[in-house]
Amino acid sequence: MMILYGISNCDTVRKARKYLESAGHNFQLHDFRKDGLTTQSIQSWLTYTDYSNLINKRSTSWKQLSDDEKLAIENKDLDLLTQYPTLIKRPVLQLDQTVLIGFKLEEYQKL
């Protein structure tokens, strides 16, 4: 089952949804804000991608963190990521043993 993780009103998530729909893919949208996020989900992504690819240090959420919180997140505090899911680059597309971070048309087309 293809799962698209993100925030439904995020422009990048909308682009990914539009592409997947136009390509005829069935997928489930998992909204971080509405549906929450677990450390188990993040841990499963980390099996297929690097932690540094997952964190969006350009986000408003990142800029609002204290230095201690930033350090904790850089040291892989997954509990803080579940508290602040907007720190995760969006969208995250998970399909079997593939995890794509962000929306890059070329990568989506390869699916």
What is the set of active-site residues? 10
Of 3, 59, 52, the closest CA to residue 32 belongs to 3
